[in-house]
Structure 1
């Protein structure tokens, strides 16, 4: 017999699983909907010290009580945190972990990162103290649930029921970090995307095609994925369909992602589209400088271009981005054109790291401007891929010495599920302060749709504000076309973008 342990998201308890549990039991399964401490009919048990560890203990105790040979444990939204914490302590008891419209938290992550609405995150943080009633976060009213996730598919009756069943959530459950030992590595997993939340199997495959190394583990044959066309509360909007998918997940079904060949060279390490000569390179901390051959005209300092890589990039990945052929190629090409090219390794290792990475970029620019070989009044900053959100700081208040901002196949708004990205990093909104700053944008015609949508929204905002925007299209180019598509079209786009940027760096 298969037993299901069902753990729902914030403010809710076991009652929200009523229809799903009934359907699963009809199939012959054993079902255990969980009401965590402080929620539902256990709300009176909560106190200021009720945190994530309390909920992990709740799930562990239940696991220990279940005798079924096969145990499938399901975590919805916040519920994935106590599910993972408990499964990490009892990995030998778990047959499969199911992520139901949930994030993929790692060791040290907090559940607050999953909350999509920034104002809600700030509210939770303001209530995170141990005194008085501040240790509880009030559940949303009927018209406020969409700030916690898509309400698509919920009837008025279901929404009213969700509201009636909700209870305050102890704030420490949102802010206490998840602790994982790595014991879950061998446990099979399934992911269920509620497509109205913004993610789907097809979209995940698109992101995988970019070669993001942090997604490699999802190509494991023990990992399966499903789509469910509804909003964030499928146990209320599509209970029968959800039950059917859970049964299929328990049976090991689901869409498998294709793993790249073991000997396949990552796209970011393939040869650069342009055949550029080697140039002198100096390494100064996290910054590499590519220096033109020969003295500058009349001994004058030269303009500089800083190339900002994308991400997030795992901290342990080697080689680091400044040694990827794309950025080596751009640095060398800049030097061959008579300007100083600079690359850096910034610390965008997770979605929460944009503020840290932004400071790294600012520090690199100051290092450049302080170098006597650099004309500190003629600087361009060029952003790539997931580094695109970092452009917001420079668009919102461009200094006079920033002569141009460039971006190639950038991500220009948080992608679906990127809830942890601070609202400061919204380039389209930052255009309000860009003034006359020239922007050179290179678009890949075969871009991942989710990324392309952020670029189109940025272009529309730039046109509305009459920003000095030049768009260079690579119709047959992919994200990372400089190494993935070494064609005349790609080479022409790189050369044209450089001509534009260098034109803005002239005295």
Structure 2
């Protein structure tokens, strides 16, 4: 028999599992929803400081009680913050645990506190300030009903369930978020399954892409004992889709699921596939983090197009984005048509890096404009994918020298699992101030649903304020169509988008 041990996330208790637990039990499984000390009504002893080790001990107590029964296969399920005490307990009882299920959660690392996994920067700062105050028993207050979105998408959660979630929420002990997790490595030997909620901005394709980029912490996810599932709902599937979640957990316990593809040194990942157009192999000039592709026979200052890569991209990724075929392809295309093509590396390594990344891009643009071979009054910016939020700065206060702004399969608003991204990086707000700045948006028809929503919201705002925007559609194109969809439709979209940008630069 399978015994599921369910551990919930921040502010919550065993009650969130009620419907899922009932469905698992009706399928013949044994189910234990853990009461973590200080959450969901589980009170600590007087004077007790609650930290991560306290919650690990809570999970260990349940593992040990279940493990006394012969023939039980223990499956630990950690949702959100709950994955930290789950992994900590599995590390200490690796021989007793058959599988760990990461339910729309991060991937805890040795020596890293759970607070590092909180996407919302303001929440992290509030927690650190409270900790510095040294208050005994300090805790994060639970969110109001309308603020749960900061902790993950509430898509598909019924109103009554959201009301109950709010009513039963507990302040979350700060010590559990601030104490680093200590692992021996034993938990890494336990089979695992990841359940990703696509309505919260996660998908198997995104994990595969980060593996392909060479992120070291994700390499183990391509192993034979790791499987993945997707649920088309928000961050709280136990409330929004309890039946589907129960079915998925049963499949995960049985070792089913999709496996990731290991990096194959003999086969390039999708982001390193060739650019879809044949462009001349023009020489580049590299200075620090900027590459210039100069038009043949340059005889005076020329307009420039600065291509801004997406992300987040792991800091360890090699080659770095400015050497990816899609960026070099676009830059050579521009140079072949008489303007300076520019690629650069900026430090968008995590969703918390947008301010730093924006500074990098602004600095690079000024250095490009200062180059005597560039006409400083005729520059276009071309943003791709996750650099979409960076467009807001340039639309909010368009400089006179910015002749056109293009965004290709962009993410135009924070995804649900990004937390609270400052209003500075919301293009739908900024576009109202774009004035006569020409905009080009290339829209992939087969875009992932969560990204497509951000594009449509932006276009609605752009049309409402009368922005000068041209939309280039690629109906059968995917995200990153320039390397994975080598079709006439894709080629035509590149020609159209680039043609518009070049026209604004040269007229």
TM-score bracket, normalised by the shorter chain, equals 0.7 to 0.9
Aligned residue in 2 for 1:274 = 277
Matched, 1:84 2:87: yes
**Shift of residue 151, structure 1, vs aligned partner:** 7.3
Report SS of the residue matched to 1:43.
coil
Root mean square deviation of aligned Cα:
3.7
Matched-pair contact (CA < 8 Å) for 2:442–2:474: yes
Aligned residue in 1 for 2:374 = 374
Aligned residue in 2 for 1:483 = 483
Aligned residue in 1 for 2:320 = 320
How do 1:196-215 residues align onto structure 2 when only pairs under 5 Å count?
A: 197-198=199-200, 204-205=204-205, 208=208, 213=213
Q: 1:498 to 1:233 in 2, by over 3 A?
A: closer
Between the two proteins, the alignment pairs up a number of residues equal to 499
Q: 1:13 to 1:258 in 2, by over 3 A?
A: closer
Aligned residue in 2 for 1:12 = 12
**Shift of residue 74, structure 1, vs aligned partner:** 1.2
**Shift of residue 405, structure 1, vs aligned partner:** 1.0
Q: Deviations over 1:334-356 (max 9, x none)?
A: 22222211111222222222222
Matched, 1:188 2:188: no
How do 1:66-81 residues align onto structure 2 when only pairs under 5 Å count?
A: 67=67, 70-81=73-84
Matched-pair contact (CA < 8 Å) for 1:51–1:171: yes
Deviates more, 1:91-100 or 1:302-311: 91-100
Report SS of the residue matched to 2:431.
helix
**Shift of residue 162, structure 1, vs aligned partner:** 4.1
Q: Return the alpha-carbon distance in structure 2 between the equivalents of residues 56 and 216 of structure 1.
A: 26
**Shift of residue 331, structure 1, vs aligned partner:** 1.6
Matched, 1:248 2:255: no
Report SS of the residue matched to 2:500.
helix
Report SS of the residue matched to 2:133.
coil
Deviates more, 1:218-227 or 1:287-296: 218-227
Aligned residue in 1 for 2:358 = 358
Aligned residue in 2 for 1:473 = 473
Report SS of the residue matched to 2:506.
coil
Q: Return the alpha-carbon distance in structure 1 between the equivalents of residues 270 and 478 of structure 2.
A: 11
Q: 1:161 to 1:402 in 2, by over 3 A?
A: closer
How do 1:93-112 residues align onto structure 2 when only pairs under 5 Å count?
A: 93-106=96-109, 111=114
Q: Return the alpha-carbon distance in structure 2 between the equivalents of residues 429 and 346 of structure 1.
A: 24
Matched-pair contact (CA < 8 Å) for 2:122–2:420: no
Q: Return the alpha-carbon distance in structure 1 between the equivalents of residues 485 and 117 of structure 2.
A: 36
Q: Deviations over 1:347-383 (max 9, x none)?
A: 2222222222222212211221222222222221111
Q: Deviations over 1:72-116 (max 9, x none)?
A: 211112211222344345544432111223344556766457668
Q: Return the alpha-carbon distance in structure 2 between the equivalents of residues 308 and 89 of structure 1.
A: 45
Matched-pair contact (CA < 8 Å) for 1:405–1:439: yes
Consecutive unaligned residues in structure 1, runs of 5 or more: none
Consecutive unaligned residues in structure 2, runs of 5 or more: none
Q: 1:498 to 1:159 in 2, by over 3 A?
A: closer
Q: Deviations over 1:394-447 (max 9, x none)?
A: 222222222211122222223343337554322222212222211122223333
Deviates more, 1:305-314 or 1:224-233: 224-233
